[in-house]
A and B are shown apart, each in its own frame.
Chain A
Amino acid sequence: MEMSGEQTILRPQAVTWSSITDPRVLKACIPGCESMDKVGDNEYELVMGAKVGPVSAKFKGKITLADVDAPHAYTLIFEGQGGVAGFAKGQANVRLLPDGETTRLQYTAKAMIGGKLAQVGSRLVDGVARKMAESFFSAFNEHVSGVKGEG
């Protein structure tokens, strides 16, 4: 399933763009992110921990920024291996629409899991993905706007 959301960022489009492509900002806002290192153009290696109920898994994976159309849109693609737990993949299409001195950030996201995670967690994947997307974008809004995100 695809889920979507919107945040109003209290900064102009250019500032919002430079933040949402800044690995330090991404690292600070990705839930459970432990490290994030640049390995190529728009390519990062990351380690993140995810905790859902009794399950906790550590993912080692890659984040790629694709279809980059500065300062309007990009697609953030995540692929991670959780060892014996299985794997997770996800992507978020992000659009920034200027609105005076503020920016409307719109996103659609989807996620997939495989391996043992899918065996026990397939009924939960959309709920988890929705929560992670909401938590990432509201953390981003808080980080950039300096106020608690809404939406």
Chain B
Amino acid sequence: MYAFEYHRPSSIKEAASLARKLADAKLIAGGQSMVPALKLRLARPTAMIDLNDLPELRGISVVGTNVVIGALTRHAEVAASKDVLMTLPVLAKVAAGIGDHQVRNMGTLGGAIANNDPAADYPAALLGLGATVTTNKRDIPADKFFTGMYETALKPGEIIASVSFPMAKRAAYIKFRNPASRFALVGVFVSETAGNVRVAVTGAAPCVFRVKNMEKALASKFAPEAIARIRVPADNLNSDLHAGAEYRSHLITVLAQRAVEAALSGK
């Protein structure tokens, strides 16, 4: 490791004011993306602000028809939560499928969505359920939160406090994962909430996105065959060493149908 200032604030207010004051500082929660970047010297911030002493950012509660999860809640906690398993089991399944044991035991919901990796799972769940992100300043709907590759609507000094997920009538997340990294080559999240159908895709493009024409088809008939012929054009999809854009385009339609099937069977 090389030298940097280490701050461990004990309130969100203090964390936010440090982040505003130290322009080059990085916030760290579970550190599952940040620490590898530090170790490889691919990031050399002059200061780190550790959020792990902020218990108010932690925890899971059911509020009306929403499940509210604190930003510092680990993936493993979400995966094992009785509240989540009872009210929104798809979210436990998403969390249980992220990375490996170490990532799930350390990685946090807030860290994952603030990083907004193009192949991360949580962004698909937020967008696929129409969740709301609450920061120390405001509420941001998922539709406005993920703005581009590794980019979010968060402003400097803004810290995620929690995410509120509406319960779904039915929902499922199916991902075609890279066997080594467990990142989604493509992941599709489908949900039906109070008469509203959403289809969100991760891993396929620089940023998570919704497939509106699939949503429309599913709204009139929630069945796999309703979307069997709908393709997302390959033009703006990712091509890399793992898969080409055409293949990813094909996977979206296949996985979306499987997700609808899984949502219908409740598995």
Contact = CB atoms under 8 A, between A and B. Distances in A.
B40 A116 contact: yes
A123 B26 contact: no
Contacts of B266: none
Nearest to A55: B42
Interface string B229-242: 00000000011111
Nearest to B115: A53
A132 to B, nearest CB: 11
Contacts of B239: 1, 126
A120 B149 contact: no
A54 interface: yes
B206 interface: yes
Contacts of A127: 118, 149, 206, 238
A52 B36 CA distance: 14
B192 interface: no
A99 to B, nearest CB: 24
A51 to B, nearest CB: 9
Interface in A100-151: 116-117, 119-120, 122-128, 130-131
A128 B42 contact: no
Which secondary structure characterizes the binding site on chain A? Answer: helix
A124 B241 contact: no
B118 A55 contact: no
Contact of A124 (B37, B115, B118): B118
Interface in A16-62: 52-57
A55 B43 contact: yes
Contacts of B42: 54-57, 85, 116-117, 120
Interface in B213-248: 238-242
A6 B78 CA distance: 45
A89 to B, nearest CB: 17
Contact of B117 (A53, A57, A122): A53
Which secondary structure characterizes the binding site on chain B? Answer: loop
Contact of B37 (A54, A128, A130): A54
B206 A130 contact: yes
B265 to A, nearest CB: 32
B41 A126 contact: no
A131 B148 contact: yes
Contacts of A126: 238-240
Nearest to A57: B42
Nearest to A1: B239
Which of B34, B44, B116 has the most chain A CB atoms closer than 10 A to its own CB? Answer: B44
Interface in A70-98: 83-85
Contact of A116 (B33, B41, B115, B240): B41
B150 interface: yes
B188 interface: no
Contact of B41 (A84, A122, A130): A84
B149 A119 contact: no
Contacts of A84: 40-41
B119 interface: yes
Nearest to A131: B149
A52 B115 CA distance: 10
Which 9 pairs from chain A and chain B are nearest by CB? A53-B150, A54-B37, A123-B240, A127-B206, A55-B42, A84-B41, A54-B33, A1-B239, A116-B40
Interface of B: 26, 33-34, 36-37, 40-44, 115-119, 148-150, 206, 238-242
Given A85-B40, A126-B238, 13 more contacts: A53-B115, A53-B116, A54-B33, A54-B37, A56-B42, A116-B40, A117-B42, A120-B42, A122-B240, A123-B238, A127-B206, A131-B149, A131-B206
